[in-house]
Copies of this chain bind each other. A is one copy, B any other.
Amino acid sequence: MSKKLAIGVIGAGRIGQIHAKALAFMVPRAEVACVSDLRLDAAKALADECGAAKTTDDYQDIINDKSIDAVCICSTTDTHAQIMEEAANVGKHVFCEKPIALELPAIDKALAAVKKAGIVLMLGFNRRYDSGNIAIRDAVSSGKVGIPELCLITSRDPAPPPLDHMKLTGGFFLDTSIHDFDIARFVLGDEPEEVFSYAACRVDPRIGEIGDFDTCMHTLRFKNGAFCNIDNSRRATYGYDQRVEVFGSKGSIATVNKLENNTVFADGDGIHTPPLQNFFLERYLAAYQAEGRIFVDCVQSGTQPPSGGYDGRISVVMAKAALKSVREKRPVRMEEVEA
């Protein structure tokens, strides 16, 4: 076996565990070399599970460890940009969870360091590595659906995360809608021009009390003329609802939801299938595994991944434009956020 890519996982929470396990078990050419977390116990537990030799409660130990080739940034949002910059400065490749940061200047500073260092940077837009979304993207880019005219994206979580988590993530649009903004660009192969958004707090009044939303609808116009609607909710009783549809001049292509299992039960009340796969860990398991493999491929071949720094930045611009639209009750153009 050739040498495996040694990866330091920073942050041993829910998403850190997903990435660490995918890298350890499903990516033959990678190994988890070290796990860091402010809670050393959490770091040790994950390291043990993934066969990682080292643990630390200070991510700087990973930055300074010359035997580590790349970092996987899964810490809280407010630390992403700083760690990315430090890793780039020492020549380590970076896989980073979204968003890079909540403000554009911080993003631009980190991306400048990445560019200067010439490292590989991959953003954690896991849905780009889902086989269904890839099939839609391919059907659009190959011309199979013709010119894209309408796009519908539904993304509804089964239940809201803890309030403390929500406070740290930049709010509903930067935490959740950001995935849909990214996937709209991905499947349409086009850039957004303008967004009009409605948002409200319908699920839990405590979400409104911290100034956040839990239910929203975004309507976008893309540069080539496609209209796109995104609807989001923090609570769907029937599971994790994930659908994308692109309608074009030659046809339409859409993903359907994945269910807990493939049975159909019939009785006097009707025909019943199980609920949707409950949440992202189940629904996008294969996508997370593909994401890990592609990151290692890109590092080893020196190519840029399908989700990079620009994607990380523009998705934040879209979220900010949507927020401005809600506040000012009008459609907002992307360049208004840049100013």
Which residues from chain A sit less than 8 Å from chain B, CB to CB?
1, 25-26, 28, 48-49, 51, 131-132, 135-136, 139, 144-147, 149-150, 152, 154, 156, 196, 198, 200, 202-203, 215-217, 219, 221, 225, 227, 229, 231, 233, 235-239, 241, 247, 249-276, 329-331
CA distance A133 to B150 in the complex (A): 23
Q: Is the interface of A mostly helix, strand, loop or mixed?
A: mixed
Whether A252 lies near B272 (C-beta < 8 A) is no
How distant is A313 from chain B, measured CB to nearest CB, in Å? 25
**Interchain nearest-CB distance for A316 vs B (Å):** 23
Which residues of B are found within 8 Å of A276, using beta-carbon distances? 266, 271
Contacts of A260 in B (CB 8 A): 131
- Cβ B263 vs Cβ A254 within 8 A: yes
The chain B residue sitting closest to A242, CB to CB, is B262
Given contacts A261-B131, A265-B144, contact A247 B156 (CB under 8 A): yes
Q: Roughly how many angstroms separate A1 CA and B144 CA in the complex, as a whole number? A: 50
Shortest A30–chain B CB gap in Å is 12
A52 to chain B, nearest CB (A): 11
Which of B149, B216, B241 makes the CB contact (< 8 A) with A227? B216
B268 pairs with A275, CB closer than 8 A: yes
The complex places the Cα of A145 from the Cα of B147 at a distance, in Å, of 34
Q: Are A152 and B150 in contact (CB under 8 A)?
A: no
